Amino acid sequence: MVTTDNGGTAATTSLRKPLLRFRVAAFVTGLGLLGLVAVMILRYGFDNPEPSAVFSPIHGVVYMVYLVLAVDLGLKARWSIRGTLGVLLAGCVPLLSFVAERAVTRRVESGRRL
């Protein structure tokens, strides 16, 4: 790979914007999952379905955006299919999207594939 004068690689530099978009999406998805847990507790624990009826579709759209941005980064960073699927599934488990975001960021910034 070609090295730039700031110590990064040209490939890492070209991934800066897709990585930032993915990081934002992973953070928002993680918060959305925590919110979804809260509204599910309200729905099934306290018999209050209204918050769930509003929040669940919003969370679905946020997760679809996460999927698109994760696949975009995966294609540009040339991740393996297994690594890409792992990142996509991380958006389904509360708190795991935060962990995946950190791991992906470290690997992309160091120029390693997933």
Q: What pLDDT score does 41 carry?
A: 95
Domain range list for the chain: 16-110
pTM (2 d.p.): 0.84
Q: Which tens digits make up the pLDDT trace of 83-111?
A: 999 999 998 998 998 999 999 999 999 88
Q: What pLDDT score does 8 carry?
A: 52
Q: What pLDDT score does 1 carry?
A: 39
**Residues 74-98: b if buried by 16+ CB within 10 A, e if exposed:** bebbebeeebbebbbebbeeeebbb
